[in-house]
Each structure stands twice: as structure tokens, then as C-alpha cells.
């Protein structure tokens, strides 16, 4: 197919992202986007993309976008044969355990997560031994093996609700220490945490937030709950990636900062040309492993398939399903 035919066909897609992708860069993306759209039809595949995907993925090839909670819910409903998870490995595992009959592919097997890497199933068993009888709430940013040792999962969108749903005075909350501390600040439930951190959000500081306010008078500051409590205390609002996006749509702040991964602001800004986005941000090296050429290759080769040991998958799925039922 000639390059000019591809550019003509993809021109309407470029209009979606023209505010965040310079026109001179578009030809670099157009060929892969065109091929991916054709391959999706050929393979009967859908692409689920997390809010941290770059705009050319998020706005131009994804079928379903959202935070971890939305992607889990939507993965369950997918009817197509193939799910390509444009996100990190734990998200692909979650999709596989919730919809095991589907072929779940991840474009780069190395797309991990510092939180998921911070804890093993044996660590969870040790925590149980240390706090006998205390229920274990596990953040979805964890491996299937860790989920399988847990009573229930949570995401950044529902963590407090899940903790309080258990009717227990104490819970073990794994593996994100800051998420646990941020929930503990809002609930009467006593929380025993694990010392895992998100390598992206732990880098934000309270001093940085104060400097942003001084430099940008009137700015509204939204923070992800994986940020340290000292940062959350300085922010105007805390929520999951979807919550932050919804906040901008609902409140339409004149000027806003999203204390989270860099692509979030680009993706939200596309829908809100009137909002001024101040963009201090940190890149997630794992999310950034997912690129258009790798998505294309995944659909061409049907690699890398994400599988879970069936016995483990049943137990991990129970923890996720308990969360979805709350
Ligand atoms: P959300 O569930 O808020 O999208 O967060 C996922 C994540 O990895 C944040 O770093
Ligand atoms: Fe994990 Fe943090 Fe990257 Fe999210 S942003 S995938 S929590 S390392």
C-alpha cells in the first residue's frame, strides 16, 4: 500500500490527536496504525489500553480504554477471540483469569511493575503467619500467584470501599505502602502494609507540589493514590487514573496538574482543549515498552501469549471476583 494512501486513510484518526502529536511525526505512526486496524479485523482481536498508553495507541488503535478496574470489568465481557493488553503484565494476567477462553496477548513480556515485583506468594504467607486471621486485601498491581494467596483484590478506584467491606477492624494491605497509608488516613480500619512502592509515583514530593502552586497560581492539583501521603496532603483531589480524567471532565478546572504518568495528561487533554495542563510528570518505563510496532508484531505473530496455571488462576480469580462483587 502506498504511503500516501495510508496517510489519506488515517487522516481522520490524526484529527483526534492533532493537539498532542505534531503533524511531522504522524507518518511515523500512520503505517503501523493502518496495519493494526486491518490485523484486528483479520484476527478478530480487540485492544484494551490503559490510560498510560501514548496517544497514538490510546486514541487511534484501542477499542477499550480505562483504569485497571475498568479494564478488568471490560476484559470479562470481551467476545472477540483475541485480547491484546496494551498495558503491563499484571493487567494481562487479570484479563486472562477473568476470560480464560480467550487468547490474551501482551506486546512486550518485560512490561512489568515495581509494585508487582515487590512481593511474592511466600511473602503473603509470611504476612498471614505474622497477623493470624487478618484478611488480606491485595492491590491488582500484583502477580496472579500473589492474588491467589489473597482474600480480595482492590484497585486505586475502590481501595477504601474494599477495605471497609470486609467488616474487620484490621486488614493486611499489599503491596503498595503509600496506597495503604492513604486509605488508612480515611478509614477507621487498622491497616498492616507491605513496603512496596510505585517507582513512578514515589518520585513526586510535597515540595514539588508547593512549587507548582507558587509557579502556577490557581492551579488544581490531582494526585494518584500511589503517591506518598505527604504529596496527597498537598493535592486538591486524589483518585485513580479514571477518577482524575472524570474530575477534569466534570469540574473543568482552568488549569490542572495530574501527578501521575506522563501520557495521562496528553490523553485527557485531547478531550479538553480549554483546560491548561501543566505537565510535571514521571514516565513509567514498563508502560512505555508498549509501542505501535510491538502491537503490530503481536497481532502478526500472536505472541506473547499470557497464560496462568489453571489451579492458581481459579484462586486468583476468586480474589478479583470478590472485588468486582463489592
Ligand atoms: P489505575 O488503576 O488508577 O489506572 O492505576 C494503575 C497503575 O498502574 C497506576 O500506576
Ligand atoms: Fe507499576 Fe507504577 Fe508503572 Fe503503574 S506506573 S505500572 S504502578 S510501576
Share of the chain above pLDDT 70, in %: 100
How does pLDDT run across 12-44, given as a tens digit for each residue?
Answer: 999 999 999 999 999 999 999 999 999 999 999
Span 153-164, mean pLDDT?
98
Q: Assign 49 to helix, strand or coil.
A: strand
pLDDT for the residue 193: 98
Condensed to tens digits (0 to 9), the pLDDT of residues 44-88 reads: 999 999 999 999 999 999 999 999 999 999 999 999 999 999 999
Atom of ligand 1 at shortest range from CA of 140 = 2
Closest Cα to atom 8 of ligand 1: 141
Closest ligand 1 atom to Cα of 155? 2
Full-prediction pTM beyond 0.85? Answer: yes
The single residue listed with the C-alpha cell 466534570 is 250
pLDDT at 1 over 90: no
Ligand nearest to the backbone CA of 117:
2
What cell was used for 36?
493494526
DSSP structural state of residue 306: P
Please indicate whether residue 286, judged by its CB atom, sits closer than 6 Å to ligand 2. Answer: yes
Q: What is the DSSP string of 138-172?
A: EESSS-HHHHHT-SEEE-TTTHHHHHHHT--SEEE
Most ligand 2 atoms within 8 A of CB, residue of 178, 199, 224, 283 to mutate: 199
| Cβ atoms of residues 217 and 253 within 8 Å | no
Find the ligand nearest to 114 CA.
2
Task: Spell out the alpha helix ranges (H) of 18-79.
Answer: 26-43, 55-58, 68-77
Answer whether 202 contacts ligand 1 (Cβ < 6 A).
no
Any atom of ligand 2 within 6 Å of the Cβ of 92: no
Ligand 1 contact, 142 CB (< 6 A): no
Ligand 1 centre from 91 Cα, in Å? 10
Scanning 59-108, the segments in alpha helix (DSSP H) are 68-77, 89-98
204-217, pLDDT tens digit by residue?
999 999 999 999 99
Instruction: Kindly give the number of the ligand 1 atom that is closest to the alpha carbon of 241.
Output: 3
CB-CB contact of 152 with 184 (8 Å): no
Span between the terminal Cα atoms of the chain, in Å = 50
* Residue ID of nearest Cα to ligand 2 atom 8: 113
For residue 142 and ligand 2, the question of a CB distance below 6 A is answered with: no
Amino acid at each position: 500500500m502506498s504511503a500516501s494512501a495510508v496517510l489519506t486513510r488515517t487522516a481522520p484518526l490524526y484529527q483526534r490527536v492533532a493537539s498532542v502529536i505534531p503533524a511531522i511525526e504522524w507518518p511515523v505512526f500512520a503505517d503501523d496504525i493502518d496495519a493494526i486496524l486491518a490485523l484486528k479485523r483479520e484476527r478478530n482481536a480487540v485492544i484494551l489500553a490503559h490510560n498510560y498508553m501514548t496517544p497514538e495507541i490510546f486514541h487511534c488503535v484501542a477499542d477499550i480504554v480505562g483504569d485497571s478496574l475498568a479494564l478488568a470489568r471490560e476484559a470479562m465481557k470481551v467476545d472477540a477471540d483475541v485480547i491484546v493488553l496494551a498495558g503491563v503484565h499484571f493487567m494481562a494476567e487479570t484479563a486472562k483469569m477473568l476470560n480464560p477462553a480467550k487468547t490474551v496477548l501482551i506486546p512486550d513480556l518485560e512490561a512489568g511493575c515495581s509494585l508487582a515485583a515487590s512481593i511474592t506468594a511466600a511473602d503473603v504467607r509470611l504476612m498471614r503467619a505474622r497477623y493470624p486471621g487478618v484478611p488480606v486485601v491485595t492491590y491488582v498491581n500484583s502477580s496472579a500467584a500473589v492474588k491467589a494467596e489473597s482474600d480480595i483484590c482492590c484497585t486505586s478506584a475502590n481501595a477504601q470501599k474494599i477495605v471497609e467491606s470486609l467488616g474487620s477492624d484490621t486488614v493486611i494491605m499489599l503491596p503498595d505502602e503509600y496506597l495503604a497509608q492513604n486509605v488508612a488516613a480515611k478509614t477507621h480500619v487498622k491497616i498492616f502494609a507491605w513496603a512496596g512502592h510505585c517507582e513512578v509515583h514515589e518520585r513526586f514530593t510535597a515540595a514539588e507540589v508547593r512549587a507548582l502552586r507558587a509557579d502556577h497560581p490557581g492551579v488544581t492539583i490531582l494526585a494518584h493514590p500511589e503517591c506518598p501521603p505527604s504529596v496527597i496532603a498537598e493535592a486538591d483531589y486524589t483518585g485513580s487514573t479514571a477518577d482524575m480524567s472524570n474530575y477534569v471532565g466534570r469540574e473543568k478546572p482552568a488549569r490542572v496538574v495530574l501527578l501521575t504518568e506522563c501520557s495521562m495528561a496528553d490523553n485527557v487533554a485531547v478531550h479538553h482543549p480549554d483546560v491548561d495542563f501543566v505537565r510535571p510528570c514521571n514516565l513509567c518505563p514498563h508502560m512505555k515498552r508498549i509501542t505501535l510496532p510491538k502491537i503490530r508484531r503481536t497481532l502478526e505473530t500472536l505472541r506473547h501469549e499470557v497464560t496462568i496455571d489453571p489451579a492458581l488462576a481459579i484462586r486468583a480469580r476468586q480474589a478479583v471476583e470478590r472485588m468486582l462483587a463489592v
